[in-house]
Amino acid sequence: MAQKISGVFAVLAASATLFAVNVNAADSTLNKVKKQGYVQCGVSAGLPGFSNPNAKGQWEGLDVEFCQAVAAATLGDKTKVKYIPLTAKERFTALQSGEIDILSRNTTWTLHRDTALGLNFTGVNYYDGQGFMVKKDMGIKSAKELDGAAVCVQSGTTTELNLADYFRVNGMKYKPVVFDTAPQTSKGFDSGRCDALTTDQSGLYALRLNLKDPTSAVVLPEIISKEPLGPVVRQGDDQWFNIVRWTLFTMINAEEFNVTSANVEQLKKDSKDPNIRRLIGLDGPKGKGLGLNDDWGFQIIKQVGNYGESFHRTVGLGSPLNIERGLNALWNNGGIQYAPPIR
């Protein structure tokens, strides 16, 4: 009798597990995205090179193009993205609440954010570090000369915390002048409300473009923190986490194997390289494990390009920011960008 009861409970437990899996599958982010027909992407309120509307009102930048890559992978069309501009204070709540499907907004990966907020960072699409910008006419050459300075900083960011740490460690005092958005912070600096502006160094070059006279400001040499920036998703949906993560890895691997938006069509016809064939879905795991079409990688590369292409035209030497690759170069070219193999 005991064995029969145990058998019944085992069946019930298996049924409950199956039911839970089915419910989760029905409520998955991928199914939600397919049903609504677009990816809801949280971006910055305006940061040139990363996510910023151009003169035509079209969103562009490194973080924007990553959202387009996710749309190409999941929906087969990079244009199927709804951009939702968010301040630093709003960004995590918007993701937690389901207002957005992915946060792609120059956001630093930290222990607290990765564990306590119900969120998961999927990788790093830009290795950065915090710095300072001052007006040239101040004659300041080093951040160590900023004792007693008023510093413009954006609220709700790791930038605020790093700023406090830096001045405390160096025995200096400062007056924080706090703003809600990057554009407001830039305007505060431009209007003379502070002596220096601090944010990620890439952001300094971006914000300098919006000053009345970009040549009036200089970025100081000190890097005072590690700022690994990358896309973020909600915890509890492994399938969506894997899709977003492997979208980034696909773009990085594509650059490593010199697969570009210009040559991927020809390589699909001619390539015998097993690495390339797996990358574009001709061989290997294809799309089954992610719940995607087999050509999901091909669509990313064809419609958006590889990581190097995206970097070059948004923040790199082919853009107004004119930033060197540095740490963001591939691992085999002097940088630390590295992606696991597709196999």
Taking only the tens place, the pLDDT of each residue in 48-62 is 999 999 999 999 999
- The architecture in CATH of the region 29-127+229-333 reads 3-Layer(aba) Sandwich (3.40)
pLDDT exceeds 90 at position 31: yes
pLDDT exceeds 90 at position 251: yes
Q: What is the arrangement of strands in the sheet containing 149-154, beginning at the earlier edge strand?
A: 174-179, 149-154, 196-200, 130-135, 217-219
pLDDT of residue 22: 37
pLDDT exceeds 90 at position 335: yes
pLDDT exceeds 80 at position 254: yes
pLDDT of residue 20: 37
pLDDT exceeds 80 at position 206: yes
Contact 174, 148 (CB under 8 A): yes
pTM of the complete model beyond 0.75: yes
Strand, helix or coil for residue 23: helix
pLDDT-derived band at 46, boundaries 50, 70, 90: confident
Taking only the tens place, the pLDDT of each residue in 157-173 is 999 999 999 999 999 99
How far apart are the C-alpha atoms of 131 and 160, rounded to whole Å?
12
- 82 burial class (0-12, 13-18, 19+ CB within 10 angstroms)? middle
Element spanning 272, H or E: none
Taking only the tens place, the pLDDT of each residue in 288-327 is 999 999 999 999 999 999 999 999 999 999 999 999 999 9
Question: Tell me, which fold does domain 131-225 have in CATH?
Answer: D-Maltodextrin-Binding Protein; domain 2 (3.40.190)
Same fold, 29-127+229-333 and 131-225: yes
- Mean per-residue pLDDT of the chain: 92
Backbone phi and psi for residue 117, each to the nearest 5 degrees, phi listed first = -105, 0
Contact 173, 187 (CB under 8 A): no
User: In the chain, where are the structural domains located?
Assistant: 29-127+229-333, 131-225
Diameter over CA atoms, the chain: 90
pLDDT of residue 27: 81
Q: What percent of the chain has pLDDT over 70?
A: 92
pLDDT exceeds 50 at position 73: yes
pLDDT of residue 26: 54
pLDDT-derived band at 45, boundaries 50, 70, 90: confident
